[in-house]
Structure 1
Amino acid sequence: MPNKHILLKRIQPEENLYHYTKCRGVQGILKDKAFFATKSDFLNDTNEMRYTLALTRDVLTEFPILEEHSSLRQQLSLTTEEMKRQCYYVLSFSVEADSITLWSEFGNNTGYNLEFKSGELLDMISRTKKISYHGLLIYSRETQRKIIHDLLTKDIPQNLGCSFDDIMKNAAGNGGDESFRKYCKQFKKAMSIYAVFFKQEEFAAEKEYRVVLKETSDSEVHYREKDGFLLPYIRVNLRKAHDAVNRITVAPQNHVDLAKEGMQMYARQLGYSAEVCLSKINLRY
């Protein structure tokens, strides 16, 4: 059941999502009709979890009552550490159709970009895997801090039917207070999700959109090699991939006829009618 404390900006069904990848990645998606959803703590920016943990601890220092009762602050800090135990798998897209940042990061300027109809893509994914959450990443540090502050002082206390001050005062007098334990549990659950959607402002140009899947008992975890280590992932099958792919864009550095014509032939052979076009970005090397 989705956590009602989680508020994310979602894409509209008629809008498009874009997946930047190298040539081998495009072949895998088009031919095998599948995505690889990466375990959340193995994503490209390995600092993501540490960033959210540090941000949360920083927000906790704003509350005098936590400073007065260091044991409470410690318990809440331990609650944030427990976020790392949560097991989610992530599919990453972007709402940017032709981004030099993403071309460089995911395809070394020589890859491809698959454009998907978001409504059909999300429906397709949900037919094989349960989508826990999906939405745009939050890059603004100010917004992130406000979300954490509101969770602590308003959202979770209201859900428990009492005020933040009362929860803290009761916990200060009795470290084993039941309301405080519930408070910490709900905070951990909410932050374990937000940790997947918080990212440093320096990455804002990516305009990333994530689809988060919860690992279940029947999830078959696979491993692939990346940069000399094993990367855990689960396979997400796309039964009607032909219907979801709108367009295939060739990266800026591949502005040669063979790059476009080769992909056109490959897509047609696999039964795709998607348009194949060149990036509008011109690079000189």
Structure 2
Amino acid sequence: MDLEVPAPTLGDSASDPQWGGDLVMTQSFPETIYHYTSASGLRGILSSGILFFTDSQFLNDRSERKNFYQLLADRLKGWVPDMKEVLEHRYFGRQSSVLRSLSMAEPADQGASRYFVLSCSQEKDSLPMWNYYTRGARAAGYNIHFSTRALVKQLQEHPLIQRINCQPRILCGRVIYEDKEKELGLEGLLQEISQKWREKQDERYREELLLRADLAFEKMSLFYKDQAFAHEKEIRIVIPSDNRQIHSLSEDNDESPYRFREVRGAQVPYLALDVLEKGTAITGVTAGPALDEEIAVKGVEYMLYCYGFPQTCKVSAVPLRY
């Protein structure tokens, strides 16, 4: 059974429940999703119950979020004159900060949006995904099976999510790679903006409409990726926030959930959330194809038992020798 989530909509006001719900997405997505990770990543997740949500500005796609705005720029070239001029000036004019902020938001800009991403996959046994973890003689990977409903529920109820006060609090959905599907989604949103723009001439109403369009575009941009990454079949869970809320986490007396880790020499910001209740969200583990079957399965089963998770482990069916 798929977990159904509502499509993005502008709503009729900033407080419209259609716009302020917990889940925003364009599609349904599977009952089980798979998080690919290293051996040390698996051990860290199982031993601590903590998941890392990476700042979207530091993900592996260099065109992250820019892909959407390039599509928007291309679509506006043939759009209706009144909205074309307004949106082109707002997003792509000389004074626009949209694309600059996407390249890298300034840390001191307290109102700048921040998005933290957990990347999973629809694919339970994908050779391209395993290849991320089999690049050396001693390298190997695993994927963790998550119950989508259980994971989302635990995130919705997490006190940190409540604290950083985002609306919507969680974004969930399938990443879109195909240009035609991207264009259809964008076209629907532009049609809605244009229709509402023509309904009223009131300047205040139109400014509010544009602010809601800003948010809708931001959210949609998180789920549009370059087609080169289509093999990932990614499902994303995203925590939206802003610099003000994120920086406030550093004031905690205990260890802050806002942290940094080194990735290929770069310092990458992330949120660390202890969301994995024992025996609920994790339903199993698959060991990568480069691992010895008997040792890999037995080792993970001992680890799952030790940390209170279901003892379900198998080895990838991909016939990879090395």
**Cα deviations by residue, 1:5-27 (Å, 9 ceiling, x for unpaired):** 46421325xx1111100011111
Task: Tell which deviates more after alignment, 227-236 or 270-279.
Answer: 270-279
Aligned equivalents of 1:50, 1:68: Cα separation in 2: 19
> Aligned to 2:259, which of 209, 213, 222?
222
Higher relative contact order (CA 8 A, sep 6+): 1
Q: Of 119, 140, 150, which residue of structure 2 is paired with 1:110? A: 140
> Are 2:37 and 2:141, in contact at CA under 8 Å, matched by a contact in 1?
yes
Relative distance call for 1:265 and 1:67 in structure 2 (3 A) is closer
In structure 2, the CA distance between the partners of 1:7 and 1:67, relative to structure 1 (3 Å rule), is: closer
Partner in structure 2 of residue 11 of structure 1 = 29
Spell out the pairing of 1:268-279 with structure 2 (5 A cutoff): 268-279=305-316
| Structure 2: runs of 5+ lacking an equivalent | 1-6, 11-23, 103-111, 163-168, 250-256
State the distance in 1 between where 2:60 and 2:133 align.
Answer: 10
2:178/2:227 contact within 8 Å kept: yes
- Report which stretch shifted further, 265-274 or 97-106: 265-274
141-150 or 53-62, which deviates more: 141-150
Separation in 1, partners of 2:318, 2:232: 16
The corresponding residue for 1:194 is 220
Give, as a single letter, the amino acid of the residue that structure 1 aligns with 2:115.
Y
Whole-Å separation in 1 of the counterparts to 2:287 and 2:259: 29
Residue range with higher mean Cα deviation, 121-130 or 192-201: 121-130
Q: Which amino acid aligns with 1:116?
A: F
Among 167, 189, 202, the residue aligned to 1:151: 189
Consecutive unaligned residues of structure 1, counting only runs of 5 or more, are: 171-176
**CA 1:239 to 1:209, structure 2 compared with 1: closer, same or farther past 3 Å?**
closer
Query: Aligned AA for 2:129?
Result: L
The reply to whether residue 242 of structure 1 matches residue 268 of structure 2 is: no
Deviation at 1:142, TM superposition (A): 1.6
Query: What is the CA deviation profile of residues 23-77 of structure 1, one whole-angstrom value per residue up to 9, with x for unaligned ones?
Result: 11111110010101011111121211222222211111112627995x7622242
Q: Which residue of 2 aligns with 1:162?
A: 198
Q: Shift in Å at residue 268 of structure 1?
A: 1.8
* 3-state SS in 2 of match to 1:235: strand
1:21–1:112 CA contact under 8 A, matched in 2: yes
TM-score of the two chains, using structure 1 as the length reference: 0.83
Q: For 1:150-171, what per-residue CA distance to the aligned partner results, in whole angstroms no more than 9, with x for missing partners?
A: 322x21244x3625xx87xx9x
1:49 pairs, out of 61, 65, 81, with: 65
Q: What's the counterpart of residue 97 of structure 1?
A: 124
How many residues matched? 269
Please state whether the residue corresponding to 1:213 is helix, strand or coil. strand
Task: Check the 8 A contact 2:8/2:26 in 1, yes or no.
Answer: no
Distance 2:84 2:229 in 1: 36
Q: Over the residues paired in the alignment, what is the CA RMSD in angstroms?
A: 2.8
Q: CA deviation at 1:243?
A: 2.0
